[in-house]
Amino acid sequence: MSLTVLISRRLFYLILPAILFSVATMSSVCLAQRPSVVTINADGVLVINDRKIVPIGFSNGPPPDGHTPDGRPAFQEIQDAGGTFFRSGLRGNNRWDQAAIEQEQILMDAAAKYGLYCWPQLREISSLEPANTKKELLLREVINHFKNHPGLLLWKNVDEPQWGGHPIEPMVRAYKLIKELDPNHPIGLTHAPRGTVEQLKPYSTAADILLLDIYPIGYPPGKHSLGENKEISMVGDYTKFIKQAAGDKPVWMVLQIAWSGVVKPGKTLRFPTFPQERFMTYQALINGARGLIYFGGNVEQAMSPEDARLGWNWTFWRRVLRPVLEEVGNNSPLAPALVAPESKLPVQVRGADDVEFCVREAGSDIYILACKREGKTVEVKFSGLPAWAGQGQVMYESPRTVRAKDGTFTDWFAPFDVHVYCFPHKTEPAASKDRADP
């Protein structure tokens, strides 16, 4: 063998690992950057590129080039905690133009880089009057520009249209055009906590997902709602309310970080505590919400000077929101149960009429998510579990457990308590499913 051939072979084998690494990296990047395909399954669960998730969003999120107080990329921090997406698109009095498209491109690129997504609000172009050619051309331009972007989750049309008295027909006309141009991304429509079920129902024809925002925390309490219930349990009331208006379409709930009722002049700044945010989150999920959005992290009037410099309410995130997401986010031990269909097990609760619950089965395990409204502390009995159910973990309350016998178990609930039970398909304790106790 010639010296030249020998050297060539040695060089080839020396650089082969680098070649293989480059190919693998390119393949990984290409896979990560493929256009997102977002669907809704028969259970109302969002599916992104064949992966079922609980969509957890932020309205609005931190700056695309932002960092946490300890210097981590902001989007990486949110993705690690199990977050999914940000509301994006137009703000204030802006209109869709080239500058707005460029700004959205920056945000969507940054989201995709970290495995996150955007929910662009289309605003005025998502309502098409007959023969408004200029607006239709602009809508076509925006949809076609972003419809194949890997960072697109869904589209947002006119905000709170019923409360604002917006006509339905132009929204339906735009909805049909958006679906024609982009069949791979749903449209989400947000309602205010206003109107009646019958008034809201017609708007469901202009969306695939119905959302409702409700912010109970403030002084005086419950000012955001016109209903009689001024407690934080109004979240469950409004979840059931929007489900009635949505018919067979999934619903997501928009929950509070901060809102105008606590930051406007003359108002007293007030945030949800961890127990309050945790209760509202679980109550929404228990009553049928298949997605969650947390509103107000970008409201500067609610930020400390340090957070204002960073462009997001990292203090609230650290103290309240991240601990909540560690329980219900897409990286949490509970995630498989949250994307499962409702169980057909005949589980019932006796001893109180204000304990709400849902049952999910994931793998061979049974999960019960339960919460109690305001009122007295009570002991209740759950029944209807299969005979094999034995010791159950009370998730996020380790080392506490409950034991079922003949399909029943008892437990205590104080006002606004939340308990999450997991019964593994073994009569003896399995490895703890807690990531970390609060």
- Using an 8 Å Cβ cutoff, are 262 and 268 in contact? yes
pLDDT digits (tens, 9 = 90+) for 342-392: 999 999 999 999 999 999 999 999 999 999 999 999 999 999 999 999 999
295, 355: one domain: no
Residue where one domain finishes, among candidates 276, 302, 332: 332
394, 318: one domain: no
Residue where one domain finishes, among candidates 279, 300, 332: 332
pLDDT digits (tens, 9 = 90+) for 143-173: 999 999 999 999 999 999 999 999 999 999 9
Tokens 């209903």, located at residue: 227
Give the span between the Cα atoms of 334 and 436, in whole angstroms.
Answer: 12
Q: Per the domain annotation, does 291 fall within a domain? A: yes
Give the span between the Cα atoms of 88 and 121, in whole angstroms.
Answer: 6
Helix axes 274-286 and 234-246, enclosed angle (nearest 10): 30
309, 366: one domain: no
Q: How confident is the model at residue 433 (pLDDT cuts 50, 70, 90)?
A: low
Give the span between the Cα atoms of 167 and 80, in whole angstroms.
Answer: 41
* Over residues 218-229, mean pLDDT: 96
- Do the strands 155-156 and 187-191 form a parallel or antiparallel pair, or are they unpaired? parallel
- Chain center to CA of 409: 31
Q: Per the domain annotation, does 11 fall within a domain? A: no
175, 210: one domain: yes
177, 284: one domain: yes
251, 294: one domain: yes
Q: Per the domain annotation, does 29 fall within a domain? A: no
- Using an 8 Å Cβ cutoff, are 149 and 35 in contact? yes
- Do the strands 56-59 and 85-89 form a parallel or antiparallel pair, or are they unpaired? parallel
Provide the mean pLDDT of the chain.
91
Q: Read off φ and ψ for residue 401, nearest 5 degrees.
A: -135, 165
CATH number, residue 158 = 3.20.20.80
Q: Per the domain annotation, does 3 fall within a domain? A: no
For 288-314, letters b (16+ CB in 10 Å) and e give bbbbbbbbbbbbeebbeeebeebbbbb
> In the 8-state DSSP scheme, what is residue 268?
P
Q: Per the domain annotation, does 338 fall within a domain? A: no
Q: Per the domain annotation, does 26 fall within a domain? A: no
Assign 95 to helix, strand or coil: coil
Amino acid at residue number 394: V
Residue where one domain finishes, among candidates 289, 307, 332: 332
Q: Per the domain annotation, does 2 fall within a domain? A: no
> In the 8-state DSSP scheme, what is residue 413?
E
277, 382: one domain: no
What is the count of structural domains for the chain? Answer: 2
Residue 255 structure tokens: 């929950």
CATH number, residue 355 = 2.60.40.1180
Q: Per the domain annotation, does 293 fall within a domain? A: yes
pLDDT attached to residue 416: 98
227, 312: one domain: yes
Give the span between the Cα atoms of 184 and 420, in whole angstroms.
Answer: 34
Indicate the pTM of the whole model. Answer: 0.90
152, 273: one domain: yes
90, 180: one domain: yes
Residue 393 belongs to domain spanning: 348-423
pLDDT digits (tens, 9 = 90+) for 244-276: 999 999 999 999 999 999 999 999 999 999 999
State yes or no: pLDDT of 32 exceeds 90: no
| CA terminus-to-terminus distance, the chain | 68
223, 354: one domain: no
